[in-house]
Structure 1
């Protein structure tokens, strides 16, 4: 990504002057933006996750991106690490250049509506119009490369391709695995351990298509993709997951599911230092891919696999992990149950992963740490790793939301 040399100094100064108000009222602006955009372009509900809309996750993510872009409008390349996961998701969701003018138009309208004409005057809106175009061009350029990369490989494709459910396996009370093969029986692209696919669910009775991203839970080269999906049940004010329940209830062997090519930059490294994989709940899915991959590609690398879940009834792939540890002496696995059942005997810790326990089972802080799970779980693991003085470049996590919610939590 190049610097924004096309913007004049006055435009840059005006945009940067809006940083404090964006920091304060960004959520209001982006919430208004989505409302206006969906009113005028309801067809975009086929792309955007409406559950995240209701929860406000999408608005927060966009607000943080806009705020970061405004603060670094004269050097957009400095925020490349932050936008890289977003561009990966955009490619996976099939976001195209023609979507960006729609977003820009409604973002400016939302700024005017929320901030009023005194703040969002002609000069401010004009400057932001120019700045948005630079930001959009940066995203479009990166995403063009990602589309080319996804298609210019053996078996690659753009958009969505029909896959068939070759096998459906119940892994626990709430997690089921779906093994997917191309419906056309043609070659399909490989992936890197830790990546995900987007599934397109056309659910009877639903007005719009639902897109969801699920990590691949197997190693590449297995002759199929595997996703392991948690059924999201209704809890309190949170409704049941539309897509996860549809997949569990309606997808059977032989069913067709359109999916995008694998995407994502949460990828296991090829270092020789110990690999520490930490998961909570269904966060074990990318960790399983990494575990299966590393035991094949780096058979001498020390691996510590730590999984936390409620109890044995919720513990997916337990026997599979046990088989891997029995076969590979360099792999050690630990299980933590926060609410074990009387029948649960085979676990290593009751409660949660705390600093003392974690630093006792991990041999060194000079290791590659990967973790994934619920937000609160990940915030706790991140705090523990920072307290353990793990270098930032050795901390890797997957979170389908604003990454700073993990790294900045107290």
Structure 2
């Protein structure tokens, strides 16, 4: 928790810092990449830097963390911290990099706020930073230990053993360890990072959910081609779509991610949209093996049946579970609505969701915001609703 002397200073200055946080993070990244260009080339997602999403995510997480420290002393936003830590571990972030970030972040704060950054203000916000950084470092260290890896050493060479087109914009790749040793056993719902070398020599990293069952000897990932029309957005997904072939080698991280249902007999709600279906496939496969009678409500929304990657696989997985139901919504259905298939956007309010259900969401932010809001209005507690974000977390929902 914050010290007694820092708490009133942070409370008093939080509006000013929060109001300027996006300007601060903009300047911070400029300073960081000027001093360490390799971080932009080989660690940070250049697409998210280009469109500003990473800057917004950093600003939101710092402001949210500081707000919790002053409004709820003695507590921490552990769910938010865990989500960030899993992402950092999948990238191979190490403790020494937090010192580099500190240097350039506080230089940016001083530049933006000027004389308002008195020694007391600087000391108070230094506490905020290191409380957050040290919490993340501790979680990331545990994640590395659980993965059996030295800090940051999460990479392994894997061969593409199979490639399959799922839709015109989605391809799945089956990965096999090059060294012949068994692949790590992930938890259902986790993702891996894939690092590829681009034509300009940069080594960019992206995360992809594992769609294989945890018990399978090989891993399968599913890659959606990003079509934003503005490079560098989509540069990794396009390279994999256009050039990744059977026999090629990829650098792949150990599995990470906290969208992982725990054991138990409580009902589950798995709600996804678009490529957000991917972690749900692994979760359903795991349920079939570990607790096939568990009640499960599966919701998926997509543009059309043709755009729905792994559509038949999802249907088969749900059909194999005696207490599972599947509800599909398509904005552009190719046939009149039928039982279990509706036209338009997903409507959780139309479903009978048990009051003691635990929900897992994955998909575009507007979809998850809507579903989460509907569930909270129906009485599900906030701690029972979990989500996974592909890319920077621009929505700190707890």
TM-score (norm 2): 0.91
1:228 aligns with 2:222: yes
Counterparts of 1:368 and 1:12, CA distance in 2? 35
1:96 aligns with 2:94: yes
Tell me the C-alpha RMSD between the 2 structures.
2.6
1:375 aligns with 2:365: yes
Q: Describe the superposition over 1:153-195 as per-residue Cα deviations: whole angstroms up to 9, x where unpaired.
A: 9xx9932111111111111121111111101111221011111
Q: How much does 1:263 deviate?
A: 0.6
Counterparts of 1:242 and 1:19, CA distance in 2? 37
Change (3 A) 1:11 1:301: closer
Q: Which runs of 5+ in 2 are unaligned?
A: none
1:120 aligns with 2:117: yes
Change (3 A) 1:14 1:401: farther
Counterparts of 2:55 and 2:244, CA distance in 1? 31
Q: How much does 1:16 deviate?
A: 3.7
1:188 aligns with 2:183: yes
Counterparts of 1:99 and 1:48, CA distance in 2? 12
Count the aligned residue pairs: 395
1:83 aligns with 2:76: no
The 8 Å contact of residues 174 and 231 in structure 1, kept in 2 or not, is answered as: yes
Change (3 A) 1:42 1:240: closer
What residue number does 1:165 align with? 160
The 8 Å contact of residues 151 and 157 in structure 1, kept in 2 or not, is answered as: no
The 8 Å contact of residues 16 and 73 in structure 1, kept in 2 or not, is answered as: no
The 8 Å contact of residues 274 and 301 in structure 1, kept in 2 or not, is answered as: yes
The 8 Å contact of residues 160 and 249 in structure 2, kept in 1 or not, is answered as: yes
- Tell which has more relative contact order, 1 or 2 (C-alpha 8 A, sep 6+): 2
What residue number does 1:209 align with? 203
Helix, strand or coil at the partner of 2:147: helix
1:366 aligns with 2:360: no
Helix, strand or coil at the partner of 1:78: coil
The 8 Å contact of residues 50 and 232 in structure 2, kept in 1 or not, is answered as: no
Q: How much does 1:331 deviate?
A: 2.4
What residue number does 1:50 align with? 46
The 8 Å contact of residues 292 and 322 in structure 2, kept in 1 or not, is answered as: no
The 8 Å contact of residues 18 and 70 in structure 1, kept in 2 or not, is answered as: no
What residue number does 2:325 align with? 332
The 8 Å contact of residues 157 and 250 in structure 2, kept in 1 or not, is answered as: yes
Change (3 A) 1:141 1:219: same
Q: Which runs of 5+ in 1 are unaligned?
A: none
Q: How much does 1:70 deviate?
A: 3.1
Counterparts of 1:142 and 1:187, CA distance in 2? 26
Counterparts of 2:197 and 2:337, CA distance in 1? 39
Change (3 A) 1:319 1:145: same
Q: 2:243 aligns with which of 228, 245, 250?
A: 250
